[in-house]
């Protein structure tokens, strides 16, 4: 019992540290700076502080590679970063690519070491639907007999800043040094202005095979990443709720605060309910993770709920701010964009409902 509460304390401390770092970096001002600098989604200084000083670059990675913590720690950090939309590659690199590499062979170790030191990686294994499908007819990349990788992936999160690419070929997972020959990354304009994405083209780029079992690596890694993303979604939704509650208390119309009108109260009550239920999904997943390695059901429950919760709260945040909520300068649209991108990058709600049905074997009679 006391081990649990010790760990809880440590998670709370980590959460508080990240929160205060985000605050010292100016909250959403960090996101704005990156946008104005022409590198939306990339604040190198912020990443430096978080990876060097707080040490989150190794979160969830194997201990032998200076990794620390697991699901609760990743969720706590993810939630805090989601609240301020800090443009750092924690999700795309530490979580998405990192969880994949953590399950790969020893040949992945050098990359993991580099990542624990702050270099970033990007995962190129998902289809246009945000899903990994081993039966996919056309793969993004192919591994030649000379050990070189060729192919094209049109939307790779975090690619513009990444040093390493983790690419899926029909039978392997391969790590490619994007600073090496044969690599081209084209940064793309993104819906979510707080996260970067790029088109990656490889032409006979040297690669290191890190797994011969891509499916057994990717499935659990993606379930884990889905849960960590759910925490980000709740963090963002909570920030939207907090910001909106503060606004409707200040804004007066008809000689009273608009937050005193029932229509507005009821919408915000609904928002709170959705967020609290999302928190239950996260807690439920952590508890289940203590008893099983198979996180598909808990990831599906969390994703199905949190996709919709974040979309709802971010949309209502704009609505309840009235006209100013619709302006570029107001932060509301930054969350709106993040919520919609998040609901897509790892597979839509519909696809996860279908996945849940399959996992729970509903079509059996």
Partner 1 sequence: MESSDGTAWDDEVRAWMEATVGPVTSGSATPDLEVFRDLTDAQEEELLDKIRAYRRTRFDAGYGALTLPVEHGGAGLPASFAARFSQIEREYAVPPSTELISVTTGLVAPAVALFGTDAQRDRFLAPLLRTDQLACQLFSEPSAGSDLAGLACRAVQHGDSWTVHGQKVWSSGARHADLGLLLARTDPDVVKHRGITAFLLPLDTPGVTIRPIRQMSGGSSFNEVFLGAVEIPDELRIGEVGRGWDVAKATLAYERQASGTGARQKGGSFADLLALARSMGATDDSVVRQRLADIYVLSALRDATAQRVARAAAAGVSPGPAGSVGKLVASDLLVQIGEFAADLLGMRTVADHGDGSFEWTAHLLGAPGYRLAGGTDQIQRNIIAERVLGLPAEPRVDMGVAFSQLRRG
- Contact residues for partner 1, defined by CB under 8 A: 241, 245, 248-249, 256-257, 259-262, 264-266, 268-270, 272-273, 276-281, 283-284, 300-301, 304-305, 350, 352-354, 356-357, 360, 362-365
DSSP letter at 106 equals G
Rounded distance between C-alpha atoms, residue 32 and residue 331, angstroms: 9
Residue nearer to partner 1 on the CB measure, 48 or 266: 266
Residue nearer to partner 1 on the CB measure, 179 or 269: 269
Cα 347 to chain centroid distance, Å, stands at 12
Q: Cα torsion at 43, 131, 191, 160 (round to 10°)? A: 40
Residue 138: CB minimum distance to partner 1, A: 24
Cβ atoms of residues 214 and 172 within 8 Å: yes
Cα 276 to chain centroid distance, Å, stands at 20
Residue nearer to partner 1 on the CB measure, 106 or 263: 263
Residue nearer to partner 1 on the CB measure, 90 or 305: 305
Residue 19: CB minimum distance to partner 1, A: 17
Residue 259: CB minimum distance to partner 1, A: 4
Residue nearer to partner 1 on the CB measure, 338 or 355: 355
Residue with tokens 């199905």: 304
Integer distance in angstroms from the first to the last C-alpha of the chain? 42
Residue 268: CB minimum distance to partner 1, A: 6
Residue 305: CB minimum distance to partner 1, A: 5
Rounded distance between C-alpha atoms, residue 190 and residue 346, angstroms: 16
Residue 133: CB minimum distance to partner 1, A: 17
Residue nearer to partner 1 on the CB measure, 87 or 259: 259
Residue nearer to partner 1 on the CB measure, 256 or 291: 256
Rounded distance between C-alpha atoms, residue 316 and residue 321, angstroms: 8
Residue 96: CB minimum distance to partner 1, A: 23
Residue with tokens 């279908």: 354
Cβ atoms of residues 66 and 111 within 8 Å: no
Rounded distance between C-alpha atoms, residue 19 and residue 318, angstroms: 24
- How far, CA to CA in Å, does 184 sit from each of 50, 77, 79, 159, 267? 28, 31, 32, 10, 47
Residue 260: CB minimum distance to partner 1, A: 4
Residue nearer to partner 1 on the CB measure, 57 or 271: 271
Residue 225: CB minimum distance to partner 1, A: 19
Residue nearer to partner 1 on the CB measure, 273 or 324: 273
Query: What residues contact 41, with CB distance under 8 A and at least 6 apart?
Result: 34, 87, 158, 160, 190, 192, 193, 194, 195, 196, 197
Residue 345: CB minimum distance to partner 1, A: 20
For residue 122, the SS3 value is strand
Residue nearer to partner 1 on the CB measure, 48 or 353: 353
Cβ atoms of residues 185 and 174 within 8 Å: no
DSSP letter at 62 equals -
For the four alpha carbons of 133, 200, 34 and 190, in that order, the dihedral sign comes to negative
| H helix intervals, 2-157 | 2-24, 29-36, 44-48, 71-84, 98-102, 109-116
């Amino acid at each position: 019992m006391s081990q649990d509460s010790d760990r809880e304390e440590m998670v709370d401390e980590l959460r508080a540290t990240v929160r205060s770092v985000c605050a010292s970096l100016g909250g959403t001002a960090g996101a704005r700076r990156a946008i104005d600098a022409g590198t939306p989604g990339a604040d190198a200084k912020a990443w430096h502080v978080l990876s060097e000083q707080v040490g989150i670059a190794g979160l969830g990675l194997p201990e032998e590679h200076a990794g620390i913590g697991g699901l609760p720690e990743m969720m706590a950090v993810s939630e805090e970063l989601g609240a301020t939309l800090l443009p750092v590659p924690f999700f795309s690199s530490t979580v998405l690519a990192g969880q994949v590499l953590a399950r790969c062979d020893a040949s992945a170790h050098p990359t993991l070491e580099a990542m624990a030191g702050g270099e970033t990686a990007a995962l190129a294994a998902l289809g246009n639907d945000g899903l990994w499908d081993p039966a996919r007819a056309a793969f993004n990349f192919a591994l030649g007999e000379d050990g070189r990788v060729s192919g094209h992936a049109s939307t790779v999160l975090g690619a513009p800043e990444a040093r390493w690419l983790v690419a899926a070929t029909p039978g392997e997972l391969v790590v490619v040094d994007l600073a090496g020959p044969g690599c081209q990354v084209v940064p793309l304009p993104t819906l979510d202005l707080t996260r970067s994405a790029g088109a990656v083209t490889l032409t006979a780029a040297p690669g290191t095979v890190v797994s011969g079992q891509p499916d057994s690596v990717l499935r659990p890694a993606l379930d884990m990443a889905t849960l960590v993303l759910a925490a980000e979604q709740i963090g963002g939704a909570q920030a939207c709720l907090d910001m909106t509650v503060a606004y409707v208390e200040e804004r007066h119309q008809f000689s009273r605060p608009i937050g005193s009108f029932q229509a507005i109260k009821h919408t915000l009550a609904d928002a709170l309910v959705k967020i609290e239920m999302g928190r239950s999904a996260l807690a439920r997943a952590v508890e289940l993770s203590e008893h099983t390695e198979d996180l598909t059901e808990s990831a599906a429950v969390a994703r199905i709920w949190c996709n919709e919760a974040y979309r709802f709260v971010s949309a209502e945040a704009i609505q309840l701010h009235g006209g100013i909520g619709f302006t570029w300068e107001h932060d509301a649209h930054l969350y709106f964009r993040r919520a919609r991108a998040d609901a897509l990058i790892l597979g839509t709600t519909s696809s996860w409902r279908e996945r849940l049905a399959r996992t729970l074997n509903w079509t059996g009679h």
